[in-house]
Amino acid sequence: MTFTAQIKNVTFPDIIYNSSGPRCTTPEELEALGNSESSAIMMKSCSPESRNGNPEPRYKEVELGSINSIGLANHGYQKYIEYAAELKQQFPNTPIIASIVGFSQEDFLLLVEAFQNEPSVDMLEVNLSCPNVVGKPQIAYDFEVSDELIAKIFTVPGDKPIGFKLPPYFDPVHTEMMANILKKYPVSFITCINSVGNTLIIDPETERPLIAPKGWLGGLGGDYVKPIALANVRMFYKLLGDRMTIIWCGGIKSGVDVFEHLLAGASLVQLGTVLWKEDVACFARIKREFYEYMEKKWYTDVKEIIGKLKEL
Ligand code: RRO
């Protein structure tokens, strides 16, 4: 069985790892990921300065998924450089990925430069889609601003793969507009999708919303979002699959989910809500289920299924 993946010079020992967000903020959480069957260590999106994030309650689980408004709580990028150096010593064969967010172009450029210069970081995921900072709209919904920012990011020297975490798009015209921007630059990968932003879940017992920040609105993940993520992966695979890796994030909780997303065009997958719910044991379980399903279908290499969704 061959289940590895390659993005530029970065080799992934398997195709399932954590998404930025759940259980990847503290050194202890990052070490637990290194000791798990996650095939990479993705760190929490970081900003130039440390942030406490939004007031509690800011994360809740429900049967079909999760809602969060963490508000980019993180220890500041300098700490994640330190954490990455320590993790690399402990887990030399595991790719370490920095996730970065800025509040201005200058912030993004500072962070890209810092992580490009840090040898223990293998890859950079630039988050253009955080839905939970009050007064800051999701960058990737503004095509002009995104284009200008992405152009600037690729002026920073460095040879580490850079990719972008995108929000869900709900109209193919918008997907195509973003694809046309991404095509202009040496983008190595895109991660589809961030949580579905600004949703509301109500508890009918208490007659209250589940989370407090931002007028009770938060990013939705889990089962709710899987078909949205699938559609985004498929649309971007059709538009960009020949020039960059498509990474799926959004609603995976079983090995069969992984199989479906590979069919749609993803080459790697990230676990979010299920990692929050089950902790790091989810990697071994989902990997085992995926292997079993591949065996049942007589496939031996992920390349046999990536993008191979059959026509109707
Ligand atoms: O920290 C958050 O509230 C958060 C971020 Br940065 C993000 O990109 N996506 C999300 O659902 N939550």
Predicted local confidence at residue 119, as pLDDT: 98
Q: Which amino acid is at 194?
A: N
Predicted local confidence at residue 35, as pLDDT: 98
Ligand 1 is surrounded, with C-beta below 6 A, by: 21, 45, 68-72, 101, 127, 129-132, 194-195, 219
What's the CATH number for 5-54+71-197+223-304? Answer: 3.20.20.70
Nearest CA to ligand 1 atom 7: 130
Q: What is the pTM of this model?
A: 0.98
Instruction: Give the Å distance between the CA of 254 and the centre of ligand 1.
Output: 23
- Per-residue pLDDT band for 167 (boundaries 50, 70, 90) equals very high
Mean pLDDT of 75-92: 98
Tokens (6 digits) for 294: 């591949």
Residues labelled catalytic: 129-130
| pLDDT at 2 exceeding the cut of 90 | no
pLDDT tens for each residue of 86-111 = 999 999 999 999 999 999 999 999 99
Segments making up each domain of the chain, as ranges: 5-54+71-197+223-304
Predicted local confidence at residue 72, as pLDDT: 98
Mean per-residue pLDDT of the chain: 97
Cα-Cα-Cα-Cα torsion 275, 6, 290, 305, nearest 10 degrees, comes to 130
Mean pLDDT of 109-115: 98
Instruction: Give the Å distance between the CA of 5 and the centre of ligand 1.
Output: 26
Q: What percent of the chain has pLDDT over 70?
A: 100
Instruction: Give the Å distance between the CA of 126 and the centre of ligand 1.
Output: 12
pLDDT tens for each residue of 48-62 = 999 999 999 999 999
